[in-house]
A and B are shown apart, each in its own frame.
Chain A
């Protein structure tokens, strides 16, 4: 029974010129955004690779110098693009994808396209994620708003029900018919996406196909929510026009209002300092210290080392006091960084929780967070990379200061050879596992599941009670 309804709906839609035009536009946008995302990701990855090699080459060929000078010379770390990042750029354009690692400072990230882009450029940069999150639901609404309201209005609903089919079977058949029409768009897009993943260069822990499968399931659940909502509204209201207006209202609330409200509310509940304010606070604290985190004193360091080694003068010490003091200064600054960045990240995390929790009012918020997480472009994975880069910086500084402390004496002009730089292992970053990502996105997954179950329950209830005429 249901298959007849599915086949009829599918045929009816394919013969409908409005569907063909809408589907063609969305399909082209989807394929273009996938293609441009892939090209952009590969271009950025190639640029990163070249820059990483150049930076490493500069590091290794910086010549003979004092290790502390080398620490100030620094090196760049680049966040690798995960294979799925071509689908969803997430926060990368705002947070940046590279950072300069140098002595005494935990620098801001660089390469933030959004910073340099005009408002028009930002809006014009359509990603596949935006097509999937905004345009496909719009297409679903256009396909399904008349599912029951239109049949009722045209008078075909009473003839259909008079055949003896149940409202449930009719609604299910219509939902599957819409799904079949959508498949015409989404299957080619999935093939292009899979090819792009295959052509990508995943890191060892990136698990692109597993991530892609979960991402596809998430988007399918999101689309199913819109199919169910469209059927529910179509069963509820009397005319197809009212159904369309109501569903467009839902689309606006979901896609335009809720994200803005979520951002503003999460910022209001958990405010973060401005970049200037944040930098000034850290600069002040690094300069003066804070209660409990005291700035090291070179005289005290010297006295302690003399006592530890039973030496009378610094000339008798087996280590260079300057190297030890510089490392203690690094560790002091690290505590200040941890204190400030820790607080900042925690605020971001709490904002993220508010954002995800608000997806109870708009499924877009849940699927968007999940999409960014699986593409590897969310705040948590930015933090994961930033933490790894900062750890590398601290190891690098420890190594440079250790070289200075152990291989020279206080007051001596020490010059390390180029071999010292080559011995420093390059920065290696492994993206977090799928399990790690999903653990972070439990709330979004739960909310999406809640929407799916809720939308189908509401649709079932309204379809059962739908008036015939």
Chain B
């Protein structure tokens, strides 16, 4: 089964009950308003406003320490904002972190897995915790293979996996969750060019299904290829927003470097 086929088949399994959402919920799946996060004197996120609609792939670009990962952690509710608010599918993360997380899938820069379990067992575990416990082993194996994990590796313990293979399992975990929103923090880190290309195709497919994607990355090429909008962050602020339809690769690189030199 191809990536396309796997993703177009709705994941079976009973979804958790959906609580009443905020009356203010409109279209955005991911929304940040006047978001501030400080660490002592350092303002990691400084008044960020962000709104990502279903089917939109928003790429956050910026140097290390720009606030990209902090923004993702604020959406996940791992840290509390000092000001402003974050919403996922209408759920205020500060009040309903669990409801918000149930609608999210997350791929960190370095996917960490359980060394004593196989890739398939890891996927089964995370999928079950994400509410997809009824997905069959065959179905999960297909997902692993379609994100680029070699079939013979599916049943092997993760202790034997390379960083790239772990990353693919992380992506498979996100795919299996069938979430409304996807948070990606340098997801192609450690992937070879072929796997990165397949990842871009995967993002495109998810976008077609109406998934809202927020991806933090250093990879200008991948951002242009996969994103629908690009935001450049520096010192916790969104210094510019661009539509990928309106710029080329060279333009993006020039604009990015201009902002980094300011």
Which residue numbers of A lie inside 8 Å of B, CB to CB?
1, 4-5, 8, 11-12, 15-16, 154-156, 158-166, 468-469
Q: Determine whether the beta carbon of A159 is less than 8 Å from that of B111.
A: yes
Give the residues in chain B near A162, CB-CB below 8 Å: 76, 101, 104-106, 183
A11-B117, A12-B117, A16-B116 given as contacts; is B108 within 8 A of A159 (CB)?
yes
- Complex Cα spacing A165 to B126, Å: 10
Q: Which 5 A-B pairs have the closest CB atoms?
A: A164-B102, A155-B112, A162-B106, A15-B116, A163-B129
Q: Tell me what chain A mostly uses at the interface: helix, strand, loop, or mixed.
A: helix
Q: Determine whether the beta carbon of A164 is less than 8 Å from that of B130.
A: yes
- Complex Cα spacing A164 to B96, Å: 11
A163-B101, A164-B101, A468-B78 given as contacts; is B108 within 8 A of A158 (CB)?
yes
Give the residues in chain A near B3, CB-CB below 8 Å: none
Q: Determine whether the beta carbon of A4 is less than 8 Å from that of B125.
A: yes
Q: Tell me what chain B mostly uses at the interface: helix, strand, loop, or mixed.
A: mixed
A4-B128, A166-B98 given as contacts; is B114 within 8 A of A161 (CB)?
no
Give the residues in chain B near A156, CB-CB below 8 Å: 112-114
- Residues of chain B from 102 to 161 with CB closer than 8 A to chain A in the complex: 102, 104-106, 108, 110-114, 116-117, 121, 125-126, 128-131, 133
Within 8 Å by CB of A469, from B73, B106, B183, lies: B73
Q: Determine whether the beta carbon of A164 is less than 8 Å from that of B125.
A: no
- Let me know if B168 is at the binding interface, CB within 8 A: no
Interface-centre pick from A12, A156, A164 (highest chain B CB count, 10 A): A164
Within 8 Å by CB of B129, from A4, A158, A469, lies: A4
Least CB separation from B129: chain A residue? A163
10 contacts between A and B (CB under 8 A): A15-B116, A158-B73, A158-B78, A159-B126, A160-B126, A161-B78, A163-B126, A163-B131, A164-B102, A166-B98
Within 8 Å by CB of B112, from A159, A161, A164, lies: A159
A-B contact number at CB 8 A: 75
Give the residues in chain B near A1, CB-CB below 8 Å: 128-129
Within 8 Å by CB of B117, from A8, A159, A164, lies: A8
Using A164-B99, A469-B73 as known contacts, list a sample of 5 further A-B pairs with CB atoms less than 8 Å apart, ordered by residue number in A: A4-B133, A159-B112, A159-B170, A163-B129, A468-B79
CB distance from A51 to the nearest CB of B (A): 56
Least CB separation from A468: chain B residue? B78
Give the residues in chain A near B78, CB-CB below 8 Å: 158, 161, 468-469
Q: Mark B151-181, 1 if CB is under 8 A from A, else 0.
A: 0000000000000000000100100010000
- Complex Cα spacing A1 to B130, Å: 9
- Complex Cα spacing A147 to B205, Å: 37
- Complex Cα spacing A469 to B114, Å: 17
- Complex Cα spacing A159 to B126, Å: 8
Give the residues in chain A near B13, CB-CB below 8 Å: none
Give the residues in chain A near B79, CB-CB below 8 Å: 468
Least CB separation from A165: chain B residue? B129
Give the residues in chain A near B111, CB-CB below 8 Å: 159
